[in-house]
Amino acid sequence: VMLMSGCGERTAKVDNPFFMEWDTPFGVPPFDKIDNEHFLPAYEEAIKQHKAEIDAIINNPDEPTFENTIVAFDQAGELMSKVGAVFGGLRGANTNDRLQEIARETTPMLSAHSNEIRMNQDLFGRIKAVYDQRESLGLDLEDMRLVEKIYQDFERGGAALPEEQREELKKLNERMSMISLQLGENSLKENNGFKL
């Protein structure tokens, strides 16, 4: 894990395209400026920002509402999505050994981060509170669907399980993420080794 501090952190953020607005046609990633070494610091910062956004939802002293819970959750993780889309796209279309190494390092981090959010009982409680009153909120069909989808994603992801089963599911999720990564790498090696 790369540690950054003081002036070095400012330099890394200034030089890292993920920490800048993309002034490109249609917001296309500036692939010519993105280096493999930008991904790990970008993921670390994305996790940090996403945690802060989730904490803000959880610690909101106001009663849970569609806006302060559902919309806030739906909009959280912008940097995570930005980095993930580029990293996933490059790994899928033009991977290399360094990208595979980064994937092995980031996969357990991202799995743990996802588990932390999806199993968070305070966050799930706020989402459930909005879900339980959704019929009386005057939501349009799209907003109603968003409430139901987010609630169902949490419920199906294990948030409604007893604590012991949630802990077991977290471990399984983390193991499955690494097995899935290994399967992808094995398939890639097999495809790359094929000769006609």
Are residues 181 and 107 in contact, defined by beta-carbon separation less than 8 angstroms?
A: yes
Q: For residue 85, what pLDDT is reported?
A: 95
182 or 51, greater pLDDT = 51
Q: For residue 182, what pLDDT is reported?
A: 81
- The 8-class DSSP code of residue 161 comes to S
Angle between helices 97-118 and 39-58 (to 10 degrees): 10
d(CA 34, CA 24): 13
Exposure string for 84-119, b = 16+ CB within 10 A, e = fewer:
bebbeebbeeeeeeeebebbeebbeebbebbbebbb
pLDDT at 7 over 80: no
Angle between helices 121-132 and 39-58 (to 10 degrees): 60
d(CA 17, CA 100): 20
Q: What is the pLDDT of residues 8-36, one digit of tens each?
A: 444 456 689 999 999 999 989 999 999 99
Local confidence band at 188 (pLDDT 50, 70, 90 cut-offs): confident
Residues 102-112, mean pLDDT to the nearest whole number:
94
d(CA 56, CA 69): 10
Q: What is the pLDDT of residues 109-135, one digit of tens each?
A: 999 999 999 999 999 999 999 999 999
pLDDT at 139 over 60: yes
CB-neighbour burial class of residue 174 (10 A; exposed 0-12, middle 13-18, buried 19+)? middle
Tokens 């409604």 appear where? 160
Q: For residue 190, what pLDDT is reported?
A: 72
Tokens coding 59: 């610690």
- pTM of the full structure: 0.83
Q: For residue 120, what pLDDT is reported?
A: 96
Report the percentage of the chain scoring pLDDT > 70: 90
